[in-house]
Copies of this chain bind each other. A is one copy, B any other.
Amino acid sequence: MARSVNIGEVARAAGVGTGTVSRVLNGSASVSATTRARVLAVITALGYRPSHLAASLSRGSPRTIAIVVPYLTRPSVVVRLAGAMTVFDAEGYDTVVFNVETVEQRDRHLESLTARHRADGVLIVSAPVPRTQLAALGGAGIPLVMIDSEAPGVNRIVADDAAGGRIATSLLLDLGHRRIGFIGDVGHEGVGNRSARNRLAGYRSALDGAGVDYDRSLVRNGPHGAHSAELLAEGLLRRPSPPSAVFAASDTQAIGVLGAADRLGVAVPDELSVVGYDDIDAAALLGLTTVRQPLERSGTLGADRLCALVRGEVVRPVRQRLPLEVVTRASTARPHARPHARRAGAVLATRTSSQERRARGGRAAIAGTVPALARSGGDSHLAPT
C-alpha cells in the first residue's frame, strides 16, 4: 500500500500551501470559499486522514483529560464518572479512564500522568492520593481536581461525610432508637476513599449528642460490597441483644444488611430500621431510607472546575462542598412500631393511591418483612450543612 498521504501531499495536489490545508481542516481561519472547496475535494479524493498525534504535538496539547477511578463498577462511582464525562465531551476533551484496583496501579498511573503532553488535566474520583503523588502532579503543573476525596490545597468537590453520618444517625435517634449498629468498610478501603471513616465519626458524634453511649460491639467493618455487609450484619443481628437499627456506610452495604435481616427473618422496619448512604438507583427500588448526595452533580461540577483550571482560570473556593439530604423511605420506623401506626415514607404526588395502599392494606399482607420493592420519591430534608 502506498505510504499514507500527509498534509503536504494534499497541499501540492490542491495547488495550495500546507498552511491553507491546515486552515481548512480546522475550519477556523479565513479561507476563500473556492479554495476551501478545492482542498476539501482533494482531501476526499486522496482519502487523506489527518494525524491526531501530529496535530496535538504541534498544538502542544493533547486535548485529553485523564480520570482516575477506583472500583469503576460501583454504582456511586460510575455515576460520578458519567457526569464528569458528559462535561468533558461537551468541552471537546477526550477522556482516558484509569480504573485502579490496587495502590500499585494507582501510583503507576498517577506517575505516568506527570509526563508532558499526557493529559491537560487530571480528575481523581473517590480515591485518596498520597502527598508525593500530589506533589509530583503539582510540580509538573498539571491541573488537578478531586471528587469525593480530601487533600489539603487541592481543588475538590466533596460532601461532608461526618455531617452525613450525623444526619443518618440522628434520624434513627429521633425515631427513638437507642441501640444503633454501624456497618462499614473502615480499614478495608483498598484504593477507595476514607469516607466511611468520617461517616462513622458522624455516627459517634450524633450518639454523643443524644447522650447515648458508644458501644463498639455494635460497629462492624469489613470489605466493601453487599455480600460482606450481609455477613457483618448477620453477626450483629445474632447477638443476644441485637440493635434495633443499623446505619450502613453505603447503600450497597445497606442492601447487604437488608439481605441479612431478610434471611434471619428480622422484619424491616418493624424489628430493624436500616439507613444507607448515597441514594443510588437501587435504594429507591428497595425502599431504602438513605442519605442522598448529588453523585452525578459532583461529577459535572468537578469536570467544570477542571476545565476552568485547564483554561488557566482561578477557581474559588478551592474546596466546594455539596449538600446532603435525607431521603426517608420504607426501611425506617420507630422501634417496635405496629405496622399500621406509621407512614411508610413519602408519597409521590402522582402515586398517592397505590402508595397509600401499599403502606396500609398492602403492608398487612407482608407483615413485618422488608418492603423490598417499595419505590418512593422520598421526603427530602435538606441537611443542616
| Chain A residues proximal to chain B, CB less than 8 Å | 4, 47, 49-54, 56-57, 62, 64, 72-73, 75, 78-79, 81-82, 85-86, 89, 94-99, 105, 114-118, 139-140, 226-227, 230, 234, 255, 258-259, 261-265, 281-282, 285-286, 354-355, 357-358, 361-362, 365-375
Contact = CB atoms under 8 A, between A and B. Distances in A.
Among A4, A94, A95, A355, the most chain B Cβ lie within 10 Å of the Cβ of: A94
Contact of A115 (B49, B96, B97, B227): B49
Nearest to A357: B265
B226 A281 contact: yes
A255 B52 CA distance: 44
Given A265-B358, A281-B226, A375-B259, A82 B99 contact: yes
24 contacts: A47-B139, A49-B115, A50-B116, A51-B57, A51-B115, A52-B62, A52-B116, A52-B117, A53-B117, A72-B81, A73-B75, A85-B99, A89-B98, A94-B96, A234-B354, A258-B373, A262-B358, A262-B372, A263-B362, A263-B375, A265-B358, A265-B361, A265-B362, A282-B282
Given A64-B96, A265-B365, A370-B372, 8 more contacts: A49-B115, A51-B117, A89-B98, A96-B97, A234-B354, A258-B372, A259-B374, A264-B354
Contacts of A78: 72-73, 78
Among A62, A99, A368, the most chain B Cβ lie within 10 Å of the Cβ of: A99
Nearest to A255: B285
Given A368-B365, A372-B286, A116 B4 contact: yes
Contacts of A255: 285, 373
Contact of A57 (B50, B53, B82): B53
B72 A82 contact: yes
Among A53, A82, A140, the most chain B Cβ lie within 10 Å of the Cβ of: A53
